[in-house]
Amino acid sequence: MMQLTDLGRSYGTLRALDAVSLVVNGGEIVGLLGANGAGKSTLLRTAAGLQAPDQGSVHIAGVDLWRDPIPAKQRLGYAAEEPQFYEELSAEEYLAFVAGVRGLDPNDARKRTHELADRFGLRERMNEPVRQFSHGMRKKVSFLAAVLHRPAVLLCDEAFEGFDVEAALAAKEEVRALAAAGCAVLFSSHVTETIERLCDRVVMLHRGRVARTLERSAWGSAGAEVSVLEREFLSMIRGTPGS
C-alpha cells in the first residue's frame, strides 16, 4: 500500500503540488489523469524519492520514504517518463546492475529478465548498448527495471508511451498480474483509453490539487480487453490468421 499525506512541492513561485493526499491500496490500480503541468510527474517523482517534498509524507508499504529511504525503495518500482540510463551498458547489463543493487537472486533475476524481454520484444537487442535504443525501447527497459523485483508499489509515469502494440499488451498484463499479487499501482497517462481499461480508480489532478476521484463503476466497462486492431496486428506478427 502507498500513502501520500498532505504532499506539497513548489518550484519558485509555482505551486506544483498543493496538499495532495492519496492512498493506493494493495491490489489496486489507480490512474492519474491531468493536463500538462497539472503536477502528475512531480507527484510521481516525489513519491519515488527523486525529489523531496516541501511538506507532507510518503509511506511505501508502511515505511516513510524520506525517513527510511532504503527499505522503502526496496519495495518500490518506478518507470520514468523520460528514463535515464548508463548509456554504454547493454540493456541486460543495466538490468543485472539494478538486480545486483536490489540484492535479487541472480538466477531468478536473469530468468525473469529473459522472460520479460521475450514478452516485450527485446530479446534480440538485450546485448546492445542502451545508447542505441529508440525512445520506445528505452521505455521498455525502464519498465522492466521497475517490475523486475515484483515491487509492492509500482509508479508508472506515462510508462507505456512509445510501446508497440505487443509490448503495450504485455505491459498491461504485467501490471494486472502484479496488482493481482497485491502490488499497489499508481499509473499516470494522457491516454484515457488505457486508464479506462486498466485502472480501478482514477484521480484527476488539476493545478497541483486532487480535483476529482472516480471509481471504475463511474465509467463502466471499457469494452474488449484487446481491440480489433490490436488482435489483427498480433495475428500478423505471430503469423496466425486474423478474424
229: cell is 486492431
- Give the nearest distance from C-beta 229 to another protein in angstroms: 29
Q: Is 83 in the site for another protein (CB under 8 A)?
A: yes
d(CA 109, CA 120): 16
Half-sphere exposure in the Cβ direction for 84 (13 Å, CA): 1
Residue selected from 93, 161, 166, 230 as contacting another protein according to rule CB under 8 A: 93
H/E stretch holding 33: strand 29-34
Question: Which range binds another protein by CB under 8 A, 41-49, 174-182, 191-199, 215-223?
Answer: 41-49
Q: Is 102 in the site for another protein (CB under 8 A)?
A: yes
Q: Is 86 in the site for another protein (CB under 8 A)?
A: yes
Residue selected from 70, 180, 239, 241 as contacting another protein according to rule CB under 8 A: 70
| Neighbouring residues of 236: CB distance < 8 A, sequence distance ≥ 6 | 242
Instruction: Say if residue 97 is exposed, middle or buried (CB neighbours under 10 Å; 0-12, 13-18, 19+).
Output: middle
Q: Is 60 in the site for another protein (CB under 8 A)?
A: no
Q: How far, CA to CA in Å, does 167 sit from each of 106, 163, 194, 235?
A: 25, 6, 13, 14
- Give the nearest distance from C-beta 179 to another protein in angstroms: 20
Residue selected from 7, 22, 61, 109 as contacting another protein according to rule CB under 8 A: 109
Residue selected from 95, 156, 171, 178 as contacting another protein according to rule CB under 8 A: 95
* Closer Cβ to another protein, 83 or 169, answer by number: 83
* Cα Rg of the chain, angstroms: 18
* Closer Cβ to another protein, 98 or 169, answer by number: 98
Is residue 31 within 8 A of residue 210, CB to CB? The reply is: no
Q: Is 105 in the site for another protein (CB under 8 A)?
A: yes
Is residue 64 within 8 A of residue 58, CB to CB? The reply is: yes
Total residues at interface with another protein (CB under 8 A): 44
133: left (phi over 0), alpha (psi -120 to 50) or beta: beta
Q: Is 187 in the site for another protein (CB under 8 A)?
A: no
- Give the nearest distance from C-beta 54 to another protein in angstroms: 12
Q: Is 80 in the site for another protein (CB under 8 A)?
A: yes
List interacting residues with another protein (CB under 8 A): 11, 45, 48-52, 69-74, 76, 78, 80, 83-86, 88-90, 92-93, 95-103, 105-107, 109-110, 126-129, 132
